Amino acid sequence: MRDTIRFLKAGEIIELQNVGPTETLLDYLRLTRRETGTKEGCGEGDCGACTVAIGRMINGKLVYQPVNSCILLLGMIDGAELVTVEDLAQDDRLHPVQTAMVELHGSQCGFCTPGFIMTLFTLYHATDVEKSRKTVTEWLAGNLCRCTGYRPIVDAALEACFRATDDAFSWRANETKERLQFLADSRDIFIGDDTGFFSAPSTLDGLAALYGQHQDATLIAGGTDVGLWITKHLRELPKMIWLGRIEGLDRVEESASGVLIGATATYAATENAVTQISPDLGELWKRIGSKQVRASGTVGGNIANGSPIGDTPPALIALGATLELQSSEGSRALPLEEFYLEYGRQDRKPGEFVTGLFVPRLSSNQAFRCYKISKRFDQDISSVMGAFRFTIEDGVIVASRIAYGGMAGTPMRAAGAEKSLAGATLDNPSSWGAAMQALLSDFDPLTDMRASSDYRMETARALLAKSLMEISGTAPEDIRVLARREADNDRAA
């Protein structure tokens, strides 16, 4: 048992004894350390002004990822290297990404700039990235700038981020790795007492025991949802159990039948595996939150919290994913759609927690499409999310799984449309009509700030039609605006 958290900053190991259960990393930096380079822009992980870099050993490599420090708990950086904007310049010599931002006029008011610098720092250290505008804009989706219009920042990224690394962090990488390995112990962390604590068990059994004892505790994986309970809902959460140290819970296992995603595997860690299932799923993954959100946020956490802002569940439901849960009483599995009982309520018993999700691969006679419709392409929440898996034999749809987000209080299958589509043929669009009609009675969507009920219904129907047009090849031309945009970006790069 350890009653401290430990991390590396600017080459020094820092050990903290007083870590509150809801203390954010940003507050620690600004209020305790008085390092004010890192800014608070929104306090909900959407603007990126508070971005810092977190270095961890991933598959034997030192990887820097951008995270939103406003909604990351201080305790969650245990075992990591923390890099903030203050750490980049060496002996008054700017870091290459800083130099490029100055020379290419990448700052105006400057308030978002430290966050951009830190995201660019992580891109600078990223390996296996292609030098392109698309890479850069994907990387920068979680950093909002209201002054520049982004062009000079994108230019600075292209200028500085795709060279061989040559900074203090690359020079001392071996030393950093050693120190991180030193920090990587397997002790449980528990700071506080029975009335209030920050804890991080290192085994599933330890979690089951602790959670069994404190069923009123809050489980936190990536914190991209729970963080807002703290910064925005101002909830009192005296007992915090962080899942990030549980050995093996972040597993991503690919097999011939599918992909097993451990509960604490982040979106970032699963991106490659899900892209193998379907390119559409890969595209969807890239539009979940931002780099920062995907580096912290977990697929399991999004499901377990039943977050209404889940863009992945419809796709996972259409693919036939199953959820695995465990408690001190034992474990069970259920189809993902059955987990969602109603708005804000899931089939999770006291003391029970999600351990993983299994996503089956498509068989050779299955086709899958998914579409996310939102006001903005990047880092937005869908107004309508449609996902479609059709099993096709000789041009006839013999089975379909159709799931939507934004159409009801939970992600939901379109039972009527699925049924009506059985026997429809791909080469005869008029045979799809019954399913299009059935959608009208499958759902009664709400009007809210993202879209009206009418638009949601019309779009849900349009997406079903679009998926069938694409799969059947009845659309002679490309019918997605995003695909066109990517092509434009490639040409310009």
Partner 1 sequence: MTAPLDREQVTPPLKHIRKPLPHDSAIKHVSGTATYIDDIVEPVGTLHVVPGWARHAVRGRLLSVELNEVRATPGVVAVLTSGDVPGTNDCSSAFGDDPVLAEEEILFFGQVVFAVVAETREIARKAALKAKIEVAPITPILTPEDADHADTTVLPDYQFRRGSPETGLQASENVLSGSMFIGGQEHFYLEGQVAMAIPQEDGGMFVHSSTQHPTEIQHTVAKVLGVPDAAITAEIRRMGGGFGGKESQANQWAALAALAARKTGRTCKMRLDRDDDMIMTGKRHDFKVNWQVGHDASGRIRATDLEFLARCGYSADLSLGVNDRTMFHADSSYFYPDTLIRSRRLRTDTCSNTAFRGFGGPQGMLAAERMIDAIAIHLGKDPLEIRKLNFYDGDRNVTPYGMPVEEYEVMHDLMSGLEVGSDYWVRREEVTAFNAASAVLKKGIALTPVKFGISFTLKHLNQAGALVHLYTDGSIHLNHGGTEMGQGLYQKVAQVVAEEFGVTMDKVIITATNTSKVPNTGPTAASSGTDLNAMAAKIAAQEIKTRLVTFLCEQHQCGEEAIHFGDNKVLIGDKSFSLSEIAKQAHVGRIQMSHAGFYATPGITWDRDSVSGRPFYYFAFGGACAEVTIDTMTGEMTVDRIDILHDVGHSLNPAIDIGQIEGGFVQGMGWLTTEELVWDEEGRLRTHAPSTYKIPTASDLPADFNVQLYESAGNPEDTVYRSKAVGEPPVMLANSVFCAITDAVASLIPGEVPNLNAPATPEAIMKAVQDMRRRKVPS
- In contact, 127 and 93? CB cutoff 8 Å: no
**Per DSSP, what are the bridge partners of residue 386?**
371, 404
Q: How far is the CB of 41 from partner 1 (least distance, A)?
A: 5
Tell me the number of residues near partner 1 by CB under 8 A: 96
Distance CA 118, CA 88 (A): 9
Does residue 47 touch partner 1 according to CB under 8 A? yes
> Contact at 8 Å (CB) between 292 and 66?
yes
Nearest to 293 by CA among 97, 446, 66, 99: 66
Query: Segment contacting partner 1 (CB under 8 A): 31-39, 172-180, 391-399, 419-427?
Result: 31-39
Q: Per CB under 8 A, does 452 bind partner 1?
A: yes
Does 376 participate in binding partner 1 (rule CB under 8 A)? yes
- Please give the structure tokens belonging to residue 244: 């990030």
Residues 199-258 that bind partner 1 (CB under 8 A): 232, 234
Beta strands 239-242; 218-220: pairing state: parallel
**Under rule CB under 8 A, residue 391 binds partner 1:** no
Assess 18 for contact with partner 1 (CB under 8 A): no
How far apart, in whole angstroms, are the C-alpha atoms of residue 465 and residue 493?
33
d(CA 221, CA 62): 21
Residue 451 Cβ, how far from partner 1 at the closest point, in Å?
A: 5
Binding mask 455-474 for partner 1 (x = CB under 8 A): x--xx--xx-xx--x-----
One residue of 9, 39, 294, 348 binding partner 1 per CB under 8 A: 39
Question: CB of 31: closest distance to partner 1 in angstroms?
Answer: 8
Q: Kindly state the smallest distance separating residue 158's Cβ from partner 1, in Å.
A: 11
CB 423, CB 435: distance < 8 Å: no
Q: Interface with partner 1 includes 41 (CB under 8 A)?
A: yes
Pick the closer one to partner 1 by CB: 381 or 412: 381
Per rule CB under 8 A, is residue 481 in the interface with partner 1? yes
Binding track, positions 121-150, relative to partner 1; x by CB under 8 A: ------------x--xxx-xx-xxxxxxxx
Q: What is the dihedral of CA 448, 305, 81, 190, to 10 degrees?
A: 140
> Is 113 a residue that touches partner 1 (CB under 8 A)?
yes
91 binds partner 1, rule: CB under 8 A:
no
Structure tokens at 232: 């925005």
Q: Please give the Cα distance from 8 to 92 (Å, whole number).
A: 21
